[in-house]
């Protein structure tokens, strides 16, 4: 019987998350060619009203906002406690202007946009799969596979430029320092990365050991193709309702052949119609009743984007407040406490924890009495790895001054 994986290895990031920035406030960027529905999607996700006109490069400077992460667990806790203050988790989203073929060499508004993509932590890659003569396509025809290839090629080209500059810098530094040599790990890692990018393969798809991952994070922290990607396929309203489109199978196959990833079909056209019924319950019901069972894809996008960034959250709940606290998966209890306040981490004593599912199953009131009676209310120390959905009360003591 194989040995059980320890808590640390079980919570180590996988896939693209291996290369991500370790912090609690991360961003998903909406990326794609011009006029594929990026800004309209941003409006819908964040309930804003930014420009989304029908011509290339309408968006120049990136727009940033946030959207609440939908969670039935949070809603249930709020309904139970009915506190005056309620704070959900949020996904931060950036609307980035459209890329075109040749962007890596400066075409369109190329390099500025590529730097905006480099600044986010994950990518919503929007692909157009609808025909509409009134919405121009930058390449004059609708071909999602060609568009996917274009975006991936431009991102790989830009990363290849990053790698070349980082390699030149390392060589210069070595020449300046007597006795210093280029390490074998550096050479092998850079060769592997360059070979992938030259073949238009994103770095996140590569097989790298822990030393190589560490080197990429240290020397190539601005790579674009290490970022996680969620593919969003924008359909016509009719295709979305009937759950069929001539491109979907081809797009799915392309994604699987290029590193895999989550693919979410949606429709800006359908979502916009639903949005306009927001203040009309009867109209909303009538619209949904006539939509052949279709439901909004926006909640799934937000939840998946949050997950791809390797983020989770724990709850604090009481008479005055129910709140989600965002942390990186694998965070230890003292660091999780520090998200609430630095004093909580500095003076950490213990975490009193109950899993949401246990609380929901056992509690018949706001009290923890039944949970404690069932042995599901735990006291955890400094080595405890916080799990998604934990309900936590921290004990701390900061009577002693911190070290200086």
* Residue numbering of the annotated binding site for ATP: 35-40, 235
Strands 378-380 and 321-328: unpaired
Q: E strand or H helix at 68, and its extent?
A: strand 63-68
Supply the Cα-derived Rg of the chain in whole angstroms.
24
CA 1/CA 65 separation, integer angstroms: 49
Question: Are 254 and 244 contacting, i.e. CB atoms less than 8 angstroms apart?
Answer: no
Distances 114 to 185, 224, 326, 383 between C-alpha atoms, Å: 28, 8, 28, 40
Residues 6+ apart with CB under 8 A from 202: 152, 155, 156, 196, 225, 226, 229, 258, 259
Residues comprising the binding site?
A: 35-40, 235
CA 327/CA 22 separation, integer angstroms: 9
Please report the beta strands in 129-243, taking only residues with DSSP state E, as ranges in sequence order.
Answer: 229-234
CA 383/CA 289 separation, integer angstroms: 51
CA 358/CA 352 separation, integer angstroms: 14
Residues facing residue 93 across a β-bridge: 28, 65
Half-sphere exposure of 127 (CA within 13 A, CB side): 28
What number of H helices and E strands is found in the chain? 16, 12
């Amino acid at each position: 019987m194989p040995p059980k994986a320890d808590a640390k290895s079980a919570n180590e990031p996988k896939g693209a998350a291996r290369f991500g920035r370790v912090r609690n406030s991360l961003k998903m960027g909406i990326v794609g060619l011009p006029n594929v529905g990026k800004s309209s999607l941003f409006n819908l996700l964040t309930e804003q009203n930014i420009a989304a006109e029908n011509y290339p490069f309408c968006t120049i400077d990136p727009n940033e906002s946030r959207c609440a992460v939908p969670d039935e667990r949070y809603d249930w806790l709020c309904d139970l406690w009915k506190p005056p203050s309620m704070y959900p988790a949020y996904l931060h989203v950036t609307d980035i202007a459209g890329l075109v073929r040749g962007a890596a060499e400066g075409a369109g508004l190329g390099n500025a946009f590529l730097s905006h993509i480099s600044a986010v932590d994950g990518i919503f890659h929007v692909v157009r799969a609808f025909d509409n003569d009134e919405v121009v396509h930058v390449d004059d025809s609708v071909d999602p596979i060609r568009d996917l290839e274009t975006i991936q090629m431009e991102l790989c080209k830009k990363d290849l430029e990053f790698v070349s500059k980082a390699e030149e810098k390392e060589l210069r530094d070595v020449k300046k320092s007597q006795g210093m040599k280029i390490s074998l790990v550096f050479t092998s890692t850079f060769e592997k990365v360059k070979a992938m990018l030259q073949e238009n393969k994103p770095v996140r798809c590569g097989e790298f050991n822990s030393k190589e991952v560490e080197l990429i994070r240290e020397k190539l922290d601005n790579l674009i193709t290490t970022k996680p990607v969620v593919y969003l396929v924008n359909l016509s309203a009719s295709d979305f309702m009937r759950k069929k489109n001539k491109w979907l199978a081809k797009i799915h196959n392309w994604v699987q052949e290029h590193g895999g990833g989550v693919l979410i079909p949606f429709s800006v056209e359908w979502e916009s119609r639903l949005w306009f019924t927001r203040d009309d319950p009867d109209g909303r019901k009538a619209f949904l009743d006539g939509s052949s069972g279709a439901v909004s894809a926006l909640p799934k996008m937000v939840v998946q984007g949050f997950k791809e960034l390797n983020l989770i959250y724990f709850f604090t709940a009481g008479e005055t407040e129910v709140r989600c606290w965002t942390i990186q998966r694998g965070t230890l209890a003292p660091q999780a406490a520090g998200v609430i306040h630095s004093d909580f981490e500095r003076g950490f004593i213990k975490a009193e924890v109950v899993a949401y599912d246990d609380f929901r199953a056992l509690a018949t009131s706001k009290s923890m009495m039944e949970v404690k009676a069932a042995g599901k209310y735990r006291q955890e120390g400094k080595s405890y790895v916080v799990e998604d959905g934990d309900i936590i009360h921290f004990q701390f003591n900061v009577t002693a001054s911190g070290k200086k």
